[in-house]
Amino acid sequence: MTEEPFVAQLRTRGDTIELASPDGPAITVRVEMPEVWDVVRVHASPDERAITVKRRALEALSPGAELHDRDYVLKLNGWEVLDETASLAATGAVDGSIFLVTNRRRRPVR
């Protein structure tokens, strides 16, 4: 039995988003969105495209909102994922990685 990474044990919104087949290899990642102060857990194949993870996280974190994925940036380890069509493995994500999804344009604090 494989032990889940520590980040998989932390609080998240709702159930885990399943993007992996039950019998295939999978990693668990967290996707955080600071605008809503919330997090989702995603269980996906390492071959899953980063854009798919981003879109599903946006849907879960802002239900009912009309969000355009081009208005949001996906970051891993503080760096923007420039090719969102690449697989999670190609972006450098491993089991337990934490992605950040945030507005592409920073908003001023008043």
Span 24-73, pLDDT tens digits: 999 999 999 998 899 999 999 999 999 999 999 999 998 877 778 889 99
Domain enclosing residue 72, as ranges: 6-103
What's the total number of domains in the chain?
Answer: 1
Q: What is the mean pLDDT of the chain?
A: 88
Averaged pLDDT, 16-25? 91
Answer yes or no: is 57 within a domain.
Answer: yes
Answer yes or no: is 110 within a domain.
Answer: no
In angstroms, the Cα distances linking 18 to 1, 5, 27, 53, 67 are 19, 16, 10, 10, 21
Answer yes or no: is 1 within a domain.
Answer: no
Is the predicted pLDDT of residue 81 greater than 90, yes or no?
yes
pLDDT given at position 94: 95
pLDDT given at position 90: 97
CATH number of the CATH domain containing 70: 3.10.20.90
Other Cβ atoms closer than 10 A to 31: 24
pTM score of the predicted model: 0.85
- Find residue 72's DSSP bridge partners: 103
Is the predicted pLDDT of residue 92 greater than 80, yes or no?
yes
